[in-house]
Amino acid sequence: MAYSFSVLLLLIFLLIGSSVPSSSPSTTPSPKNFAIVNQVTIALGAVGVLAVILSLYKIGKADKLAKRVSAARVPTVWGSYVAYCYKAMSDGLEHVAMVKGEIGNGKDILVRVHSECLTGDIFRSARCDCGDQLELAMKQIEEAGRGVVVYLRGHEGRGIGLGHKLRAYNLQDDGRDTVQANEDLGLPIDSRDYSVGAQILKDLGVQTLRLMTNNPAKCIGLKGYGLEVVERVPVLTAITEDNKRYLETKRTKMGHVYEVESKIDLVEKMSNVLKVARETYVGIRIHNQIKGETVKGKGKEMILKDLGVQTLRLMTNNPAKCIGLKGYGLEVVERVPVLTAITEDNKRYLETKRTKMGHVYGAGTLH
């Protein structure tokens, strides 16, 4: 709108300028009239130019979909990464880019743009392959020594949200597939937007990428934001009884491609890696997520009461959390320690929690 208005002003400016009479003796205006016309022309021209500048500035601001807010080194079970936090300008959601190595010239970077899946990534749901894909991407990028995993939040259930996704699960248990379930609920099959992810990659200096995905449409989508996808790298995970219908639906109805025949050895190799990861880091992270969702903040503990919990054995190293839950009418009969490996990277953090925050690393009962 602003841009169209500014163009109109410039046209008026040009018309007025062209309508100023020539300096022939028969048409020469009086000095006074000429000065007035000249001033109006200059004024309109200035306003038009200013409007163009402002509209272009607004366009530039609108194109800024996310801003970088912080970054820190994060050691993981796969290796050390730098985590960059980006905040979306439209909804305030915070997204993260896990960067391995130096981006350098930004050419041929191995990239995974991963949609948030709480049930798969955190709780290890067997209905989908999301968690396995995320782990495989981290593992392959670590082996490559350079790459990026962009983790986009707000994409739960291909954009329909957690609550709707669970409703869709019920319909799938009744015989509908993942596409039909969304349609039955009156929801889009896939409403994800990758524009923020594309801008994050560009901000990091990525120019051309080898995209880790089974969805060719994602390659096309990222190209639309000025990124060149030079290769699609399949992300092949185990097919199980629980996820095989879901994967088949994505293949037949959503155009996903699974080049299983050429990657059997890789899938078998990754099965052992994923099994170990689930039994160590991932299992511990699940417990942490459960605790965070059920005891942090007034109202969260009502989830436990709503589920019918009366007395509980609380998995925590923080005795204050036990006292906090008691204040809401829940009886904590035992504190169960959550003991994890102490490493060079986390030992100072754990020692600080013990000495300054009262955390206890050992068994303890409350009676």
Phi-psi region of 198 (alpha: psi -120 to 50; beta: other; left: phi over 0): alpha
Q: Residues 135, 85: contact at Cβ < 8 Å?
A: no
Q: Residues 111, 147: contact at Cβ < 8 Å?
A: yes
Q: Residues 351, 311: contact at Cβ < 8 Å?
A: no
Token pair recorded at residue 175: 């015989």
Angle, in degrees to the nearest 10, between helices 2-19 and 31-63:
160
Q: Residues 336, 358: contact at Cβ < 8 Å?
A: no
What is the 3-state composition of the chain as percent helix, strand, coil, each rounded to the nearest 5? Answer: 50, 15, 35
Q: Which residues are catalytic?
A: 190, 192
Token pair recorded at residue 245: 């219908």
- Cα-flanking dihedrals φ and ψ of residue 76, to 5°? -125, 175
- What is the rounded CA–CA span in Å between residue 99 and residue 329? 44
